[in-house]
A and B are shown apart, each in its own frame.
Chain A
């Protein structure tokens, strides 16, 4: 089946480079990529199994519907590692994965080259199960959608034909629910009372019909014992599990309930059976049983069948997760590029809800993916590779063109430098190909392929000799890679690296950062148009000219103020409260009044920032977010955002400021632990 997108103005070049649903490399020059939708998923999965089993490593890449649910949810200068984790968590929970690239790489000693099998899966969180799970909703960031559209992402293929999935947690819940349902169906009818005249008439009619049918069965009447009337409802005689049965059709669910009641009351040997077959089309039968034990057997058979059908349904709803389970069970080395967000998505979509802290996440991810390597880490942390990158950007495409020019240009020239590069072939549907035009950027399958190529090339620069590489040797356990495996960039801009190998605290900062979080105050809802410099001036006037180290905008409505020490933080917060409760002239003349003007200005310490980030609400402006979260969670009464002059409340607030400083102490103590962990 060959389908093309309807985008008539698509530039010719990219039209050549990408051919949709082109299952072989037949189209001249196009990069061979296996596109997988639900129509060819089962078939492809079988092939993929063997490719993954044989692979030395598997590269992955994801395309999502968005990255940040609000501008301030982006990675910022003053994000501590735990805050950063919360931001990644928020992103993975809110946005959907629409494309999943999987590309297994295997060293072929015969041709002295790597063989890669790039797969491009279209994924869509379609609801395959009929019961009512929490409504599947996801967020789309308009700029990300525009970005996908720019690279001609096929939204129709994704939504019409994307492969659905269930996470492990969802699977458990689904089977639990089916169990509950089967119990329910037994109890259900007890409390139905026949009150309406129509019901009474109907039940009498049915009673008569069943009687006729039963006696016709027993006395071997030659007349066809089916029941049918002029209306839409009909019942014909069939066999159900080797027993004579009436198949009921066209009855409403209420009528069926009445039938059930009639059967229980008046017919000891007729049993009502409700089945669901594969196509989720339900059928109802009235089955004749010749003894009490036969009846029990029948009930058991019917129950088993229901269970089997339910299990089959759940099994098929698991869908794309089978690929994830495959990668996980094979314990292959997973290669990604700047892939912490990708891994978080994989966890939240295919394992279960993301843990609340980075530590718990680290402890849990190891069970599913024991070996992950991030090519971005490799290129930045290894001095030799870093130098080779010649200070150019380590973005996926630029790293690819720098490290693997022979693949990008697909040149098989005799150039001696290019000869030294690792040879990589592409195999799709058993057609091997080593010649294609570059293209398909931001197609998850192609991005995964690029990532794998970078990794292979980087390994060769690190001194791997694939030629003498034995089949049994596991790449993931190689000591040359040891330093880089299971380390991911938590925040690339800040250089925070998370170490997945240890389960204790693990924020490592390879580029030393001097931000002292306990010295930070967050201010929001100050008068608009007030610039960072003016805020700094105001505070310096109030607390001393050297009190503020720097002021940094979160967005237009909020700033971080970095004080020289934590004492100044509590001084500032106390001063703010005093001024707010003061009605006198001091309030107007005080240098801080410029910031407090309007009466809505809020201020809080760094822990409040973390709390605000952990909320699942996402307002576009930070000030709105702070107000919404602040109003709603009174579990930790806060000294911020309140302008009320009630005395009790004020006392309350002062007490809280002290509490905040306790928290800082606690944090400091915690920090010591972190340091110890690092030195170990």
Chain B
């Protein structure tokens, strides 16, 4: 049934991209077979040299200018990627551990279906997420099965969420041993502790009694329980002490150290996150106490594992320390960080250091690709692959996953091909680059270097194209509020006639339909122009004056930067810049120094043709 449905869709879409349909058999992992596949994945990762990954998200950017472009510094690119990573959801995580021996590429492809399930009803892993309608439509055209994803997707919690949920899952947890008495106690504290101490003493005595003499009447023992407030915890006796502040918890724990030989304190969390009660559990012997602590630990591990879900796999990759190859470093790893590690930090350096603690070796394939073949576009994997055909670099792919042959009735088998393509492309590139290497490509220092220098904190963007020129961000001016729609070249013509600052060489590029950026090649021209637009008195007349009267506005690069930093992600860049100028917020920015960006004239033309 399903197959018919999907095939009819691809027919109606008029020959969709079925390039790789069933080319490799990719193991599809869902909720039902996740647990049983985990061990296999662990072995696959351990036996491989690299890990390739590829994500399928519910969106990439909400407006044209949110896309990372040539005028963005690393920090801005990061902010844009962060904004997207926080909004969109990962629906598929394709993972392909691989190794390369000579020309033989051994791959272990997996494709995980993910869906965030708010199992604790606490807004974790996510309360909500955004979807780009066009992206979902495109996925549908490729035969994506949304039902499988939503019904059977694996949930997860990030590392930070897991530690936050510890208290909230409702299971009692072992109290941390008390280090030292905290603060001087008040009279009220002393009274409170005294009261609780006598209660615990009585209860403990009764526990000792009942364990020694067994001939007690049922009625009597249950009455005693009632009077002392004693309860059962599993097979053990316990006493629950309700608390109304964290201070009281502290006091009780301190007091209970007196009974540390046979009483173990547990903390019971309340729904709102605080501690609701302390439960003292009576241990019949030393061995019993060890056993109890072990049981508790196992219970907690089991629970954590269940909540962690898919993150287990991310942890496996991370702990293996294998180099991770991805197609798009920034967007993939901001997503991974946001979903599986913790909230994204506000600047790119913190992000890099936080990420490298989890994934020390990351290879950005697009960067690698540019080194070998500068003009290729990585965003289309098959095209990138064929562009490398001029090099002789044979790669034989061998799928090493066992027991998952392609079944004809499972057309969704085609998902997750991208990760295999990435590993293949990587293999090709390495072979080309290291053609002097005779036998094998091992993770070497070279590939590490690749990973580490690509987001070096200096504000230089690498120049790959011969046509690009470096320009300081000071020389960029954003203009918006044009009376009518124009192409970049008409706008350039109009500007040329408007002010004598445009007598010198300059370039214009449209960033979206509302806003354009002007690049001055003379250092001080931008200031002249900005002050001309912003002080109407100085305008001597001419068409610039008319344009300003009609609503033309201009701002420097700093404003653009601030718009990103303050998070004014409006649909039109013009609105964002307007809002930024309105906001009086001028809190100090760490990177106020002008930054260099590469200006590619090719890019400028391409953009117009879009």
Contact = CB atoms under 8 A, between A and B. Distances in A.
A631 B585 contact: yes
Interface string B77-89: 0000000000001
A156 B489 contact: no
B345 to A, nearest CB: 15
B374 to A, nearest CB: 20
Contacts of B582: 634-635
Given A138-B131, A146-B118, A188-B487, A159 B140 contact: yes
A155 B150 contact: yes
Interface in A607-648: 620, 628, 631-635
Interface stretch (B59-67, B394-402, B451-459, B544-552): B59-67
Interface stretch (B36-44, B121-129, B226-234): B121-129
A620 B571 contact: no
Contact of B63 (A135, A143, A146, A160): A135
A141 B134 contact: no
A146 B117 CA distance: 7
A6 B126 CA distance: 26
A468 interface: no
Interface in A108-160: 124-127, 132, 134-143, 145-146, 148-149, 154-156, 158-160
Interface in A150-194: 154-156, 158-160, 180, 184, 187-188, 190-192
A194 B583 CA distance: 45
B383 interface: no
A529 interface: yes
B466 to A, nearest CB: 15
Contacts of A633: 583
B137 A159 contact: yes
Interface string B520-555: 000000000000000000000000000000000000
B272 interface: yes
Contacts of A140: 89, 128-131
Given A3-B5, A142-B116, A253-B609, A124 B130 contact: no
Contacts of B245: 534
Contact of A156 (B147, B490, B609): B147
Nearest to B489: A191
B191 interface: no
Interface in A38-76: 65-66, 69-71
A382 to B, nearest CB: 35
B274 A529 contact: yes
A535 to B, nearest CB: 13
B490 to A, nearest CB: 6
B485 A180 contact: yes
A556 interface: yes
Contacts of A136: 132-134
Given A137-B62, A142-B116, A188-B487, A71 B123 contact: yes
A127 B134 contact: yes
Nearest to A618: B128
Contacts of A528: 273
B513 interface: yes
B127 A137 contact: no
Interface string B4-32: 11000100000000000000000000000
Interface in B137-193: 137, 139-140, 145-151
A633 B584 CA distance: 9
A146 B244 CA distance: 35
Interface string A526-566: 00110100100000000000000000000010000000000
B2 interface: yes
A300 interface: no
A345 to B, nearest CB: 16
Contact of A66 (B1, B89, B128, B246): B128
Contacts of B373: none
Nearest to B121: A143
A464 to B, nearest CB: 43
Given A6-B2, A146-B117, A556-B272, A184 B485 contact: yes
A675 interface: no
Contacts of B115: 145
B133 A142 contact: no
B566 interface: yes
A529 B246 contact: yes
A253 B150 CA distance: 41
A4 interface: yes
Nearest to B63: A135
B493 interface: yes
A156 B133 contact: no
Contacts of B568: 632
A70 B61 CA distance: 22
A5 interface: yes
Given A71-B127, A143-B121, A529-B273, A138 B133 contact: yes
A124 B582 CA distance: 37
Contacts of A134: 63, 571
Residue among B117, B125, B139 with the most chain A CB within 10 A?
A: B117
B136 interface: yes
B371 to A, nearest CB: 28
A141 B128 contact: yes
A63 to B, nearest CB: 14
Interface string A69-87: 1110000000000000000
A510 interface: no
A419 B126 CA distance: 51
Contacts of B128: 66, 69, 139-142
B567 to A, nearest CB: 8
Contacts of A124: 133, 136-137
Interface in B543-577: 566-568, 571
Nearest to B32: A9
Contacts of B1: 3-4, 6
A188 B273 CA distance: 63
Contacts of A390: none
Contacts of B133: 96, 124-127, 136-138
Nearest to A6: B2
A148 B146 CA distance: 12
B146 A156 contact: yes
Nearest to A193: B489
A70 B609 contact: no
B148 A3 contact: no
A529 B274 CA distance: 6
B83 to A, nearest CB: 12
Given A134-B63, A137-B132, A160-B9, A127 B137 contact: yes
Given A159-B137, A529-B273, A6 B148 contact: yes
Given A4-B1, A127-B137, A159-B136, A142 B129 contact: yes
Contacts of A180: 485
Contacts of A126: 133-134, 137
A391 interface: no
B511 to A, nearest CB: 13
A146 B571 CA distance: 30
Contacts of A254: 609
B118 A155 contact: no
Contact of A135 (B136, B490, B567, B571): B571
A568 to B, nearest CB: 26
Contacts of A253: 609
A7 B151 contact: yes
A634 B585 CA distance: 8
Nearest to A146: B117
B418 to A, nearest CB: 20
A528 B272 CA distance: 10
Contacts of A187: 490
A6 B134 contact: no
Given A135-B62, A146-B117, A155 B129 contact: no
B131 A620 contact: no
Given A6-B147, A135-B62, A191-B490, 8 more contacts: A3-B1, A124-B133, A135-B63, A142-B126, A149-B151, A160-B5, A534-B245, A633-B583
5 contacts: A138-B133, A149-B151, A159-B140, A192-B489, A633-B583
